[in-house]
Structure 1
Amino acid sequence: MHLRLSDQELATLVEMVSLAANVSSWNQKEEARDQVAAFESLESKILEKAGHSGFGDWIEFDEETQRFRVKQEVEEKLFYHECYDEFRNESFWDELAVRLSDRDLARAIGFEAWERLTEEQRRARTGAWEKRYWEEFSKRGVERLAVISPPSEG
């Protein structure tokens, strides 16, 4: 298969495969190892070709990983880096609000009853808690978030 891409399309492709490889690298499950490696291998292949097609100032070879990558100083200025950071940030706050809401629901109805609920049933019952947490985190971040250790742990 042959693709003819404009310089702008190639730049977008470089960003897309780099974003996909970065996101996939967070998957630490043993069964995902081969697929993560496939993403990284395709990224390296596309970056190598891009480096020979006018994007040499964007691309470098990483001796440690034995793969091509976007240079860090270039990456920090690209749209995909912004997308990646935003994804990680939003995922953090979303997951924190969901987990704290689940904890509150389990405390309210008991862990055994909570375990019997489907994910959809849990989300239907935790909406008010999630909203409260989102409002708190939007205003104050983790400023008022605290971990309280049991007395036995000092």
Structure 2
Amino acid sequence: MHLRFTEQELATLIEMVSLAADVASWNRKQGSDDGVAAYEDLENKILEKAHNAGFADIIEWDEEKQRFQVKAEEQDKSFFRECYEEFRNESFWEDMVLRLADRDLIRHIGMAAWEQLTEEERRARTQDIEKRYWDEFSKNGVERVAVIYPNGEG
């Protein structure tokens, strides 16, 4: 198969495969190595072709990793890095809110009852709790978050 891209389309493709490979690299789930490697291999292939097609000013060969990569200074100002950082930030806060809300619900109804609920039922029951946490984190970030160790720990 042969595909033809404008310079702008190729630049966008470079960012897309780099974003996908960065996200995939965070997958630590057992058995995910082949999937992560497939993303990295495709990224390397596209970056090599782009490097040879006139994008050597933004793509370099990494001797240590034995693969092509977008230069660090280019990554720092790229749209894909912006997307990646925004995704990580939003995922962190959403996960924090959901976990804390679920923890509070479990404390209220017990683990056995919580396990019987569907995800939609859990979200319906924690809606007010989630809003309270969103308001707190929006105003204060993690400034007022504290870990309380049980007696004899920490």
Which band: TM-score by shorter chain? Answer: over 0.9
Instruction: Please name the residue that 1:134 is paired with.
Output: 134
Residue 6 of structure 1 deviates from its aligned partner by 0.6
Distance 2:142 2:13 in 1: 36
TM-score by length of 2: 0.97
Distance 2:104 2:143 in 1: 20
Instruction: Please name the residue that 1:38 is paired with.
Output: 38
Give the unaligned 5+ runs of structure 1: none
Of all paired residues, the percent bearing the same amino acid is 66
Distance 1:107 1:152 in 2: 22
Instruction: Please name the residue that 2:151 is paired with.
Output: 151
Instruction: Please tell me the root mean square deviation across aligned C-alpha atoms, in Å.
Output: 0.9
Instruction: Please name the residue that 1:125 is paired with.
Output: 125
CA deviations on 1:67-96 (whole Å, 9 max, x unpaired) are 111011110000000000000000000000
SS in 1 for 2:69: strand
Give the unaligned 5+ runs of structure 2: none
Instruction: Please name the residue that 1:83 is paired with.
Output: 83
TM-score by length of 1: 0.97
Residue 64 of structure 1 deviates from its aligned partner by 2.1
Distance 2:30 2:60 in 1: 29
Residue 106 of structure 1 deviates from its aligned partner by 0.1
Distance 1:33 1:122 in 2: 32
| Partner amino acid, structure 1, of 2:121 | Q
SS in 2 for 1:147: coil
- Structure 1 segments (4+ residues) deviating >3 Å: none
Residue 135 of structure 1 deviates from its aligned partner by 0.8
Residue 40 of structure 1 deviates from its aligned partner by 0.3
Size of the alignment, in residue pairs? 154
SS in 2 for 1:153: coil
After TM superposition, the structure 1 = structure 2 runs for residues 3-152 of structure 1, keeping only pairs within 5 Å, are 3-152=3-152
Residue 47 of structure 1 deviates from its aligned partner by 0.3
CA deviations on 1:23-64 (whole Å, 9 max, x unpaired) are 011111121110110000000000000001111011111122
